Chains A and B, each alone.
Chain A
Amino acid sequence: MGPVATSIAALFDRRGWLMIGGFILVIFAVVPLLRLAVPSASPLHLSDYYVLLFGKIMCYAMVALAMDLIWGYAGILSLGHGLFFALGGYSMGMYLMREIGTEGQYRSHMPDFMVFLDWKDFPWYWAGTEYFIVALCKILLVPGLLAFIFGWFAFRSRIKGVYFSIITQALTYAFMLLFFRNNTGFGGNNGFTDFKRILGFSLAHPGTRISVFVVTGLFLVLTLLLCRYIVTSKYGRVLAAIRDAESRTMFSGYNTRDYKLFVWTLSAVLCGIAGALYVPQVGIINPSEMSPANSIEIAIWVAVGGRGTLVGALVGAGVVNGAKSYLTVAWPDFWLYFLGALFVIVTLFLPKGVIGWRRGEFR
């Protein structure tokens, strides 16, 4: 354990570890206490709304980290990362649909939308979805395999830059259309909702909700540690070398295709995990998660926070989504203008995002 512990300790400086420690304290102690132990009459009581908002932002922050890994460090801009997020969400959603049991509107053991379609049996790809362990495997494998196959062809054909971005955008759009169809077997445009339980625990119960919240926080910290390990390893330096001078990297003896494929697939898997944690919290997953605009928004979070820093991705996801949740309520018509203006301002004046600005790097 000695060398492993040392190398984990070296991932962050003292200040970084203190901040992570503080975050863990908030996730594991402060939020659960304020939500569950403080009486709801008290001004310190945390409402479900904030727990949900905070939980959602943590899922987005995981996605932002995954995005920064490929965009900030490998120079690959994906405009289809919402797809992997949604696939993870659907994998979890299928399990949650089965957990409803016979408590749906039609009192059938089949999900409502299948009854509505007059299906008598589950399609083959629903086999085993009632087991949580199967859901866990699919959360990792479905986004991972799709990303691997897509990446294998794209990187083999040396598709780069804007071409790659456009193809990822088309990919998520194609999947959105596919999932919109009722016959695809994923609930059509309504997707999955009305979940009742997870692992037998009622999703309406505050304890269950806080548990999912805590698990999400745990995965966010683990994702941060993993990403940090990767970008500070020699692998991370090779990745940045590919971003800056791919042919020099190849002529130095690195198989750049494998390097890109690995980080691309890992990034998709991280998005899938985030999506799977998101769905039980918000209680719905539908094809709009795969809309191209959603994926572009992910890129904006990272651009706003600052690419290639990891912490920038966290800040960007937090700031943009915090602003979104406020503005879409306060001035619902104004939100998209704000998002557009934010992107223009960041591109023009803060090419290194909020983090670069804080470090005094202006254009």
Chain B
Amino acid sequence: MSTVVADADLDGGAVATGMSHLVAADQIDISHGVILYLDSVTVSFDGFRALNELSFSIDAGELRCVIGPNGAGKTTMMDVITGKTNLDSGSVFLGQTIDLTQRTEYEIARLGIGRKFQKPSVFEYHSVFENLELAMDGPKGVWSTLLHRRGSEQEDRIHEMLKRITLAERMNEPAGLLSHGQKQWLEIGMLLMQAPKILLLDEPAAGMSDEETERTAELFLSLEGQHSLIVVEHDMDFVASLQRKVTVLHEGSVLAEGSMESVQNDERVIEVYLGR
């Protein structure tokens, strides 16, 4: 369980004189407005530098798009944030205080970082309802799930989410029977059930119809503010439709950052995408 702590929350019992970082363990300190820092992160595989001194940060509540050609390091960046890949050097911080490099995958997930994979990754043999139930935040230890009883409040939350991702009618079907686009939505729904602070979305619009893509863009824009979102996409139209700050990765570092128009007009970006 983690709670976002802003400056205003530091009152009463906690004596915060001169110590702006005085927050309880596993509480995300966003007093500087930034929720995620990557500082000169380097990751190499057999000598190949997948990430090369990558530095960037995301503000709390921000929606950020990340683009880049194949091999630019987009997926590796997500692997680093979620604890799947260890880094050679650099640091990754959640808020001001939590060093993510010291945490395992499941701890990072519990801290409030949800990840959607490039290929939709849902539990194919579980029902749609059960998929959402499994993802829902709450105690996730062995004993608590052994003794778990589903409460009506939790059921309400699941039904609410089913409506939101328009899968209410298929809640009892195995998730494996859903279409590609519906699986994408289910996975996004699962992330939201985790009540995450940050959502990492790897090609969320891939394989979706135009209408689904449009609805996905709307959904992301509605999440902005309550959650921070990092959207990695190949689909430029989708990125353009979001109209948010864009980070361009190339060969493991940030090549350019700014609005979609400014990035599209950046000569180095044009060269990377069209040149050679």
Contact = CB atoms under 8 A, between A and B. Distances in A.
Partners in one complex: yes
Contacts of B137: 253
Contact of B146 (A233, A251, A252, A253): A233
A20 interface: no
B122 A252 contact: no
Contacts of A248: 117, 121-123
A248 B202 CA distance: 14
A245 B122 contact: yes
A230 B146 contact: yes
Interface string A249-284: 111111110110010000000000000000000000
A240 interface: yes
B106 interface: yes
Nearest to B116: A251
B142 A259 contact: yes
A241 B104 CA distance: 19
Contacts of B106: 250-251, 253-256
A363 interface: no
Contact of B123 (A244, A253, A262): A244
A230 B145 CA distance: 10
A237 B105 contact: no
Contacts of B124: 244-245
B125 interface: yes
Nearest to A248: B121
A160 to B, nearest CB: 15
B257 interface: no
A227 to B, nearest CB: 13
Contacts of B141: 255, 258
Given A250-B109, A252-B134, A241 B126 contact: yes
Interface in B79-94: 82, 84
A233 B114 CA distance: 24
B130 interface: yes
A251 B148 contact: no
B142 A251 contact: no
Nearest to B114: A251
B140 A255 contact: yes
A237 B130 CA distance: 8
A247 interface: yes
A10 to B, nearest CB: 11
A155 B135 CA distance: 22
A79 to B, nearest CB: 24
B142 A262 contact: yes
A238 B148 CA distance: 12
Contacts of A253: 106, 109-110, 137, 140, 194
A240 B121 contact: no
A49 to B, nearest CB: 41
B247 to A, nearest CB: 22
Contacts of B147: 233
B202 to A, nearest CB: 11
B35 interface: no
B145 A233 contact: yes
A153 interface: no
A262 B143 CA distance: 10
Contacts of B134: 234, 237-238, 241, 249, 252
A248 to B, nearest CB: 4
Contacts of A234: 133-134, 145-146, 148, 150
A240 B123 contact: yes
B190 interface: yes
Contact of A250 (B105, B126, B148, B194): B105
A13 B40 CA distance: 59
Given A244-B125, A250-B105, A238 B145 contact: yes
Given A240-B126, A245-B123, A253-B137, A235 B142 contact: yes
A250 B134 CA distance: 11
- Identify which of B105, B110, B133, B150 gathers the most chain A CB atoms within 10 Å of its CB: B105
Contacts of A262: 142
B197 interface: no
A242 B206 CA distance: 25
A247 B82 CA distance: 11
B74 interface: no
B270 to A, nearest CB: 35
Interface in B117-167: 117, 121-126, 130, 133-135, 137, 140-142, 145-148, 150
Contact of A235 (B104, B109, B145): B145
A358 to B, nearest CB: 19
B250 interface: no
A248 B141 CA distance: 16
Contacts of A256: 106
B64 interface: no
A247 B190 CA distance: 14
A357 to B, nearest CB: 19
Contacts of A249: 123, 134
Contacts of B105: 247, 250-251
A204 to B, nearest CB: 43
A144 to B, nearest CB: 15
Contacts of B110: 253
- 9 A-B pairs closest in CB distance: A253-B109, A234-B148, A235-B145, A234-B145, A250-B105, A235-B146, A253-B110, A248-B121, A255-B106
Given A234-B150, A247-B105, A252-B140, 18 more contacts: A233-B145, A233-B146, A234-B133, A234-B134, A234-B146, A237-B126, A240-B126, A244-B125, A245-B122, A245-B123, A249-B123, A250-B105, A251-B114, A252-B134, A252-B190, A253-B110, A254-B140, A255-B104
7 contacts: A230-B146, A235-B145, A244-B123, A245-B121, A245-B122, A253-B137, A253-B140
